[in-house]
Structure 1
Amino acid sequence: MNSLADVVLEYYWFLNFCSDDELEPETAVKMMENLAHQIENDFSDPEKVALQEAAKRSLAFILREPDEHGYTPRALVTPEQKDFLQAIIDGHFSGPPIDED
């Protein structure tokens, strides 16, 4: 199930962070909302957990320590991208909770 969860996460990531040149924004939003609804309402608990684990793996990869050549992708990821993955890890499949303060 890990491979399937990785693909779903990659698709969800694309919908959230693609450019207007890659996909018309209204279409991306509709597809993203539909996917979030499906995850929240149609995915089984094990499928949700698999997606959360995929997000954990992705976040760990992004935030990993520099390799022997000094490369790490952490400088390339935005705070919004980190928040997106953390929201999924936390079980918020529609994105980070809105702070109502």
Structure 2
Amino acid sequence: MFREDELSKSKVFEWFLVNQLKAEFFWRDPYKNEVDIILVDKKIVPVEIKYGRVDFSGLLKFMKKFKVNEGFIISPAKEETQKINRKSISVVPAFKFLLNY
């Protein structure tokens, strides 16, 4: 559970990244699984923004449905890569993601 100040930081973090990436698309299914940003250039790139606890479930559902093999989770500082069911999910600090996109 977030305290009020953490919730505010989380919302500002998400708002900042959505605006910096000029995000035009997101995804949500009828079961409320969602991906915060869908970047579309030469390929589809699903991106979740997580200020606190990292949850892969919405990203994995999107990747399976649309046959995407790589996705990202943007965090304040955490960095790791997970391979789940032949899908690669990179957890990347915001500054590194913004430098590359």
Instruction: Report the TM-score when normalising by structure 2.
Output: 0.27
Which is greater in Rg?
1
* Higher RCO (C-alpha under 8 Å, 6+ residues apart): 1
Q: Which has the higher strand share?
A: 2
Instruction: Report the TM-score when normalising by structure 1.
Output: 0.27
